[in-house]
Structure 1
Amino acid sequence: MSDPTAFRAVRIRNDEAGYRGRIETMAADALTPGEILVKVAWSSVNYKDALAGTGKGKILRHYPLNGGIDLAGHVVASTDRAFREGDEVLCTGSGLSEIRDGGYAEYARLDARWTMPLPADLSLRESMILGTAGFTAALALLRMQDNRQSPDLGPIAITGASGGVGQLAIDIFSRAGYKVHAISGKVDHFGLLQSLGAAECIDRHQFAFSGKPMDSARFGGALDNVGGPMLAGLLPLVAPYGNVALCGNAGGIAFDGTVMPFIIRGVSLLGIASAGTARDLRERIWQHLGSDWKPRHLDRIATDEVTLDQLPAVFERMLAGQSFGRTLVRVGGA
């Protein structure tokens, strides 16, 4: 097909008229370069998208760009022989809405290196319930297991458990055979977290740390979405040779700790940076997410579905801490 000459996109600009993200009409020849032209069906909303869309975080490296760090859709044209017209594909992170036009548009051009074929047992919609959040949770599990994490070390603590990454992590880790202890300050959500697979829910506000450099081992490992004092408090509670995977900083970018958990118990602190994950790891992760790690409760985790026009209000709610679960963006279809 010929390139579309008029389609809708949430275009983010920062110029003499100020910072703004709004729907504009554009043509495919204005998109950032790439080997694959995709008709976007679905995207999702992540905290990073809210920061980019409102200008409350420095996300974009240059302007203008279309927002949206996730997308899934159908190939309409490709100069890469690995992809053909009609193929279902997805892309998460990989420079979308940072250095490349993202998924909040009816069409996107993708770099073939970071374009993933849709796993056979996932729909396009399901892949975007997962999106960067599910990919991050699965990357944490993969890195922990590559570093010898196993269920027999003890339960996995998941902090920020009520958020998108947290809910998906509960489902993914429990499906992979781990006992999960969910830590959240939103006690009214404990019933849902248990239904997703949490064996125990812990009120963050009641979770007291001793302040000791070492304490009795309580967890086999942890996935920490919070950082700050939470990370400092978790490390002394991890069993010998357990792993703490760190993927967020909602509680702060600094933490006050000691070397004792690392040199006495051999605890490992693993950084989880999903945006720049190498392709071979991406392939392994999406293979898992389409099979043995596929969450069993995706529709329960997808709590909202919006259109491009509704995104500004969604961004504001998310930044105000009023979002819950995963928000899907219906861009162009099923």
Structure 2
Amino acid sequence: MFNAIVIDKTGDEQSVSLTQVDESRLPEGNVTIDVAWSTLNYKDGLAITGSSPVVRKFPMVPGIDLAGTVRSSDHPEWKSGDKVVLNGWGVGEVHWGGLAQVARLNGDWLVPLPEAFSARQAMAIGTAGYTAALCVDALVQAGVTPGHGEILVTGATGGVGSVAVALLKRAGYAVAGSTGKASESDYLKQLGADSVIDRAELSEPGRALGKERWAGAIDSVGSHTLANVCAQIRYGGAVAACGLAQGADFKATVMPFILRGVRLHGVDSVMAPRPLRLAAWARLARDLDPALIEVIAHEIGLAEAIAAAADLLAGKVRGRVVVDVNR
């Protein structure tokens, strides 16, 4: 038996509870993992609260991230005792996830835990931080260099934004953080932000073209915010878009793209191929100061994850939530 958060549904009614599960109920997979740490991401919040139809198969153990130790493996790459990390691949949506003490998964979905990090630190980074690294890599590949000017990070106090600010600063960029929480300016500057702007500057419908302001941007907000960000990017700049905290709509015009050569790069963390994942984790291992991980993260036990999911969606959570699945 092991402890897990389990989401179930009867008719239109969803239930969620912390319960004991028999290991015979574990789903198919060729690697069994003793989970040490998990985390809460925005998608986990949606799944646990039922705010959006994220879960497509019931019963479901949520948790799109986990870090732990291989107990047994029929996969050629992994053996008992290996330290591994899992991000995405539909885990926590269609396949049982990481908010449990044991997981059984497809070994193709795993990457090695970087030597630079403990399992706890890897989950303090989680999909949010791994996505931030994918976004930074996208801007670098688009040719946006520190010499081109300031990079804007929207939703800067969230999980993606917090890590993005830290990574960009370490890579030599000047960074502006957008947030609706004026009280968090010191937090963002501690991570590396050179300036902080009010998200209200970006969150309402704006002009098709604004003043050229940013060399590039990382956006986890979507909707009017993303449209305004694109309208303010300098000639030849790029935007890495990875989220929809404000909404999935994108009420923009083609003007920034055809008059300023702005590039909009979509970043997907769920099904990203292995080479991109390994490159992102390599950037994190190289450029993310371990001391900042502790600034970004706070820890809860598995029993607290259900309440924390609601707080996450309500915007009450700063940075990253690390879940100790064994308490």
What is the TM-score when the length of structure 2 is the normalising length?
0.95
Aligned to 2:320: 326
1:99–1:211 Cα change, 3 Å: closer
Report the AA paired with residue 186 of structure 1.
K
Report the AA paired with residue 153 of structure 2.
I
Aligned to 1:26: 21
Secondary structure of 1:232's aligned partner: helix
1:206 Cα offset (Å):
4.8
Q: What is the CA–CA distance in structure 2 between the aligned matches of 1:33 and 1:159, rounded to whole Å?
A: 39
Secondary structure of 2:98's aligned partner: coil
Aligned to 2:249: 254
Aligned to 1:241: 236
Aligned to 2:174: 179
Matched, 1:277 2:266: no
Counting only pairs closer than 5 Å after superposition, residues 156-305 of structure 1 correspond to structure 2 as 156-206=151-201, 211-293=206-288, 296-302=291-297, 304-305=298-299
Q: Does 276-285 or 13-22 show the bigger shift? A: 13-22
1:256 Cα offset (Å):
2.3
Q: What is the CA–CA distance in structure 1 between the aligned matches of 2:239 and 2:12, rounded to whole Å?
A: 44
1:34 Cα offset (Å):
1.2
Q: What is the aligned counterpart of 2:87 among 89, 92, 95?
A: 92
Q: What is the CA–CA distance in structure 1 between the aligned matches of 2:237 and 2:275, rounded to whole Å?
A: 25
Q: What is the CA–CA distance in structure 1 between the aligned matches of 2:291 and 2:4, rounded to whole Å?
A: 32
Asked whether the 8 Å contact 1:12–1:63 carries over to 2, the reply is: yes
1:17 Cα offset (Å):
8.8
Q: Deviations over 1:38-66 (max 9, x none)?
A: 00000001111111112111111111111
1:208–1:126 Cα change, 3 Å: closer
Q: What is the aligned counterpart of 2:305 among 300, 311, 329?
A: 311
List structure 1 segments (4+ residues) > 6 angstroms apart after TM superposition.
Answer: none
Q: Deviations over 1:66-102 (max 9, x none)?
A: 1111100011101112111111111011111111110
Secondary structure of 1:214's aligned partner: coil
Q: What is the aligned counterpart of 2:150 among 136, 151, 155?
A: 155
Report the AA paired with residue 98 of structure 1.
E
Aligned to 2:109: 114
1:187 Cα offset (Å):
0.5
Asked whether the 8 Å contact 1:288–1:294 carries over to 2, the reply is: no
Q: Does 156-165 or 249-258 show the bigger shift? A: 249-258
Asked whether the 8 Å contact 2:203–2:225 carries over to 1, the reply is: no
Counting only pairs closer than 5 Å after superposition, residues 58-97 of structure 1 correspond to structure 2 as 58-97=53-92
Report the AA paired with residue 318 of structure 1.
L
Secondary structure of 1:192's aligned partner: helix
1:224–1:285 Cα change, 3 Å: same
Q: What is the CA–CA distance in structure 1 between the aligned matches of 2:214 and 2:290, rounded to whole Å?
A: 22
Asked whether the 8 Å contact 2:202–2:228 carries over to 1, the reply is: no
Q: What is the CA–CA distance in structure 2 between the aligned matches of 1:204 and 1:246, rounded to whole Å?
A: 16
Aligned to 1:39: 34
Secondary structure of 1:198's aligned partner: coil
Secondary structure of 2:52's aligned partner: coil
Q: Deviations over 1:209-228 (max 9, x none)?
A: 89443333210000111111
Asked whether the 8 Å contact 2:4–2:100 carries over to 1, the reply is: yes
Matched, 1:142 2:137: yes
Q: What is the CA–CA distance in structure 1 between the aligned matches of 2:128 and 2:202, rounded to whole Å?
A: 25
How many pairs were matched up?
A: 327
Report the AA paired with residue 46 of structure 2.
L
Secondary structure of 2:139's aligned partner: helix
Report the AA paired with residue 323 of structure 2.
V
Report the AA paired with residue 305 of structure 1.
E
Asked whether the 8 Å contact 1:172–1:295 carries over to 2, the reply is: no
Asked whether the 8 Å contact 2:202–2:229 carries over to 1, the reply is: no
Q: Does 199-208 or 6-15 show the bigger shift? A: 199-208
1:105 Cα offset (Å):
0.8
1:8–1:157 Cα change, 3 Å: same
Q: Does 95-104 or 143-152 show the bigger shift? A: 143-152
Aligned to 1:3: none
1:158–1:295 Cα change, 3 Å: farther
What is the TM-score when the length of structure 1 is the normalising length?
0.93
